[in-house]
A and B are shown apart, each in its own frame.
Chain A
């Protein structure tokens, strides 16, 4: 029993070491464009954690990630670009943005969560279309098709990341905090309640879980994480425009979560990085990129529905089983 209570599993430890080494090595060997792509992957990962909470724990497929990324990005852009004649410091602007995103996603959650499963998913697609047409058409708040440029860079205690490499460290810190927060959800009552709703709604009700309100809370958390990613995106690129928040974009967040393993913290990180980096690595065959991508998604769904982390855990289980068998066989003979 004592072993079970160990703080970290060996596989977790290996991953953490690996991640630590990578976070030291990556910014030393790359710079400029490739560093920017890597940073984008980490930013998208923050939003993908929202998908993980909604889809992985709650079993609710929502495409609305990009809508809330837009809320975060445009909120930062309005407060920190001086286009309304004032400029806030990035940190207070970020706090205000989080508050705005919480309110908006909570209110939208109250409305959307009246719908069940597939109906909810369709409504979330509609929401993406609605927000997207606002983002590219309404100039006073969203700058229209040209977007908003001149967003302030991130700044904390007077320090500003001077290049993409320094940004990388900022994002690693944010990602560590976000993944710990989400991991905590999985281990406490909220995560269990969401899983109960996913696996058996009737059982959830008879176990005292307010199904509707719990889903609304899940939706709000996903919305806030997406908005945080959006704010980071705005400060990182110092530019926001509507083509980041299209329906096509929204599907990539779901693929990121599914590829790595929707219910696994490391899976979410690996999935986000792979899906963002792959188009760059496959640049030489750009003409076939969409084709490869599509086939890849189908294969993923058929052969690894639980993503890379699911594959890893079933592999490790089968290895353990074989070892056990081998041991038993050895003892008999």
Chain B
């Protein structure tokens, strides 16, 4: 089986700081792939490079074995790279419905003209309810996005990303700032995305519990370089990882 997302020797530096150096790994459809490393290791930068928010200095990014390195971010999104952010990015002045419809708009790809003249899009509420089943809060679609708690907004951002029908979903620290119940919910949703919707999920997460539990494969980076790759068991026994990451945490 071909990987849905593949990075080949991707490098990026900002001034003198190396954020990524010769990073190579791949993510398979229908699996959750962990991307871990200490703070400042270059994890979020990698997501920016994959989604196209920043451009690589060298190396290649492939989506479904098609090279997307030179393609602008909005086209990559249309090709199926979905993403959430550490701090959820919503339209602060719009209601929840409009915020979620942005996801459906991307999935429908009907264009401004047809949308304006009333072409029907996909049934967003049915689909949304399917995802909301995993989450333990109810939505009033007409209320402002600001009425939701931080945790709810983080969960809802995953829902919006799923509404875009991505092939690959980049999830940046979904559990940060969430309570345990919310973490369980978001894990259940990500599991559903991978196993039922056949999405390749790339997950950045600091909560080791969550990563070890949910990921089939894990890639560990430090100072922009891959220092280990493997399944959770291998990673937990890998000495480079223990020294670079887990070790530091234990000492602290």
Contact = CB atoms under 8 A, between A and B. Distances in A.
Q: Do A and B bind each other?
A: yes
Interface of A: 4, 184-185, 188-190, 192-193, 195-196, 198-200, 202-211, 214, 217, 263
Contacts of B73: 205-206
A193 B112 contact: yes
Interface in B67-125: 72-75, 77-78, 81-83, 85, 89-94, 98, 101-103, 105-106, 109-112, 115-116
30 contacts: A4-B141, A188-B116, A189-B110, A189-B111, A189-B112, A189-B115, A192-B91, A192-B94, A192-B105, A195-B93, A196-B102, A198-B91, A198-B93, A199-B90, A199-B91, A200-B89, A200-B91, A203-B89, A204-B74, A205-B52, A205-B53, A206-B53, A207-B77, A208-B74, A208-B75, A208-B78, A208-B105, A208-B109, A208-B164, A210-B74
Contact of A202 (B53, B75, B91): B53
Contact of A4 (B78, B81, B82, B142): B142
Contact of A188 (B51, B90, B94, B115): B115
Contact of A209 (B51, B74, B81, B82): B74
Contacts of B105: 189, 192-193, 207-208
A19 B171 CA distance: 49
A213 B155 CA distance: 30
A199 B116 contact: no
B74 A205 contact: yes
B115 A190 contact: yes
Nearest to A189: B115
A209 B160 CA distance: 14
- Please classify how large the interface on chain B is, using the bins under 10, 10 to 19, 20 to 34, 35 or more: 35 or more
Closest 9 CB pairs of A and B: A203-B89, A189-B115, A208-B77, A208-B106, A199-B91, A205-B73, A190-B112, A200-B89, A208-B78
Contact of A189 (B74, B91, B116): B116
Given A189-B105, A192-B102, A205 B90 contact: no
Given A196-B102, A217-B112, A205 B94 contact: no
B94 A195 contact: yes
Nearest to A211: B74
B238 to A, nearest CB: 32
Nearest to A59: B93
A196 B91 contact: yes
A210 B106 CA distance: 11
Given A195-B91, A205-B51, 18 more contacts: A189-B111, A189-B116, A193-B102, A195-B94, A199-B90, A199-B92, A202-B53, A203-B89, A204-B74, A205-B72, A206-B53, A206-B73, A206-B77, A206-B81, A207-B105, A207-B164, A210-B72, A211-B74
Contact of A206 (B83, B110, B111, B115): B83
A217 B116 CA distance: 13
B96 to A, nearest CB: 12
Contacts of B94: 192, 195, 199
Contact of B90 (A189, A200, A217): A200
Interface string B39-74: 000000000000111000000000000000000111
B98 A195 contact: yes
A205 B103 CA distance: 12
B115 to A, nearest CB: 4
Contacts of B103: 207
Contacts of B102: 192-193, 196, 207
Contact of B85 (A199, A203, A214): A203
Contact of B112 (A188, A196, A206): A188
Nearest to B77: A208
Contacts of B106: 207-208
Most buried by B among A190, A208, A210: A208
Contacts of A211: 74
